[in-house]
Copies of this chain bind each other. A is one copy, B any other.
Amino acid sequence: MAVVVMKFGGTSVANVERIRNVALHVKREVEAGNKVAVVVSAMSGATNQLVSWVREASLLHDAREYDAVVATGEQVTAGLLAIVLQSMGLQARSWQGWQIPIITSGAHGSARILDVKADDLAARIHGGEIAVVTGFQGIEPDSGRISTLGRGGSDTSAVALAVALHADVCDIYTDVDGVYTTDPRIVSKAKRLPKVSYEEMLEMASLGSKVLQTRSVELAMVYRMRVRVLSSFVSPEGMEPVRIGELENIGTMVCDEDQIVEQQVVSGIAYAKDEAKVTILKVEDKPGVAARIFGPLADASINVDMIVQNVAPDGKSTDMTFTVQAAELPRTLEVLKAAKSDIGYFDVKASADVVKISVIGIGMRSHAGVAAQMFKALSEKGINILAISTSEIKISVLIDAAYAELAVRTLHTLYGLDAA
């Protein structure tokens, strides 16, 4: 017997027929003797419809009202799934975030989960009832109003609930059957990873892999909750129910690195196309200039990622290159224009035709030379590196967008990730 949290995303519950398929996955776990809580997203398309109504009502809307409207999507799915489970002869009830309650911060629209008071719910699932929980939402306790966690927040709801229930595993059902060494649409030889460490998954999630929401991985890492990524689109009958100790057979297990016996130096290659490069030409090269550039950007809540500074031959001025999210580019240029006299520069150039390629692997901690191999391989293909950033377990390079696929394939082969 295990306590299992199962999370199903929007495409997995897109209509009543698919909800019936989800119910069969749940039934399999219950019939194996597991205690089950299910976290559901809104039916795919529902959230977009709700958001578009809110925008039509007013572009400058109260985030608390946005949350009240948008949270209804998950409420509908949870009720429908409970009904389908009951029709299969199973005990089930729906729970909305405020009913559990899932306590969040007051940052409506992008709230953080602060606590999950799951005692009542836990007692019921141990009594044999399936809890069907609305993802993506909670309650702000001071105002008593509904809050939402932001897009993709249902993954975080699932992990937080798994932590509160001391679950054995948190299974995230999605439209792919696991985490791959890279995007299979680009590299047909990409392999499913049976296991990946929290740290690697965190880099992959924040570097463009859309499989799991970054905050859900952070939360899992903090509480050492094992998370599996699985496909809901396989036949529920063809899958084995959760048996503790046998969790590696399907999907990808996100877990502590200690649980990964055969560590690869590099586990995966990620890419992010939503980057933009900004170069400020001929900035005076003296102390404080970086603060005068990045201070106003931080004040405008614009996140700056990679930064490269090229000292000019004359020793007096410098060119400063950095990246921001492509969506933030127009605002970035406005901020820089407004601060021009304060910063003191000749001109600003910008381009969104860039891509960030990242090589990720826990093994890099103990293996030197990974970066050197990478730079050499890209150079041999004639790919120019525009900027570099590194962490203990990843190396990211910014390159011309036209070379994205070539770079990903080259690196995938270089680090021995191609499937046989």
Contact = CB atoms under 8 A, between A and B. Distances in A.
B53 A68 contact: no
A222 interface: no
Contacts of A50: 76
Contacts of A83: 54, 57-58, 61-62, 65-66, 69
A82 to B, nearest CB: 5
Given A69-B79, A79-B66, A87 B145 contact: no
A62 B61 CA distance: 36
Interface string A46-80: 00001001101110111011101101100110111
A62 B86 contact: yes
Interface residues on A, range: 35 or more
Nearest to A69: B79
Interface stretch (A91-99, A161-169, A267-275, A301-309): A91-99
A50 B77 CA distance: 10
Contacts of A76: 50, 53, 69, 72
A144 interface: yes
A110 B254 CA distance: 47
Contacts of A172: none
Contact of A57 (B19, B54, B145): B19
A84 interface: yes
A107 interface: no
A16 interface: yes
B54 A99 contact: no
A84 B84 CA distance: 36
Contacts of A62: 82-83, 86, 93
A96 to B, nearest CB: 7
**Which 9 A-B residue pairings sit nearest by Cβ, starting from the closest?**
A69-B79, A72-B72, A58-B87, A68-B79, A57-B83, A16-B56, A65-B79, A61-B83, A65-B82
